[in-house]
């Protein structure tokens, strides 16, 4: 694989993992405070439940993007395993095209429409535009598409190097 693509993948991986680390810390702190304020102070915090919920959404979708980049996403391999080895790359390419289409239409295009519809709607406790919460859809979709392109390039680069070797 070209050094630029390796650099891009490493940069994306580090950025996502850094965000996920901060998200985990945020989740631990907010949930701990929620439990403490509810059971010890008998005065539950009004914003921690909502902040933890939104952080979990962002954490889950960033984690899914990272997993997509590692080719660790859920896959049914029975069909691919039954195909002759020389045709598997075409099957993978078809799967990548279907994935690309779904991610673009559902997460990016649909996410952008959802952001447009919710820009004026505020969250109950945090009073932030709900569009900020839903921004994770096109953002993680874009990351998934970048990883999909990198995985496809990597698949053909491995095949090319195997033919030369």
Distance, CA of 30 to CA of 129 (rounded, Å): 20
Checking if the pLDDT of 156 tops 90, the result is: no
User: Under the phi-then-psi rule, with left for phi > 0, alpha for psi from -120 to 50, and beta for the rest, what region is 42?
Assistant: left
Summarised one tens digit per residue, pLDDT across range 26-52 is 999 999 999 999 999 998 888 999 999
Summarised one tens digit per residue, pLDDT across range 77-118 is 777 778 888 888 888 899 899 999 999 999 999 999 999 999
Q: Give residue limits of the domains in the chain.
A: 3-164
Q: Model confidence at 163, in pLDDT bands (50, 70, 90)?
A: low
Lookup: tokens for 77: 């391999």
Summarised one tens digit per residue, pLDDT across range 117-147 is 999 999 999 999 999 999 999 999 999 999 9
pLDDT of residue 45: 87
70 burial level (CB within 10 Å; 0-12, 13-18, 19+): exposed
Distance, CA of 11 to CA of 136 (rounded, Å): 19
Predicted TM-score of the model (pTM): 0.88
């Amino acid at each position: 694989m070209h050094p630029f693509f390796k650099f891009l993948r490493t940069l994306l991986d580090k950025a996502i993992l850094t965000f996920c680390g901060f998200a985990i810390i945020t989740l631990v702190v907010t949930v701990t405070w929620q439990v403490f304020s509810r059971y010890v102070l008998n005065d539950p915090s009004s914003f921690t439940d909502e902040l933890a919920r939104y952080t979990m959404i962002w954490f889950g979708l960033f984690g899914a993007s990272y997993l997509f980049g590692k080719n660790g996403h859920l896959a049914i391999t029975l069909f691919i395993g039954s195909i002759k080895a020389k045709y598997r790359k075409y099957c993978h390419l078809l799967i990548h095209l279907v994935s690309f289409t779904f991610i673009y239409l559902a997460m990016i295009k649909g996410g952008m429409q959802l952001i447009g519809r919710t820009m004026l709607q505020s969250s109950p406790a945090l009073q932030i535009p709900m569009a900020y919460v839903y921004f994770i859809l096109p953002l993680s979709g874009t990351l998934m598409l970048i990883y999909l392109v990198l995985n496809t390039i990597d698949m053909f680069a491995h095949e090319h190097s195997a033919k030369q070797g």
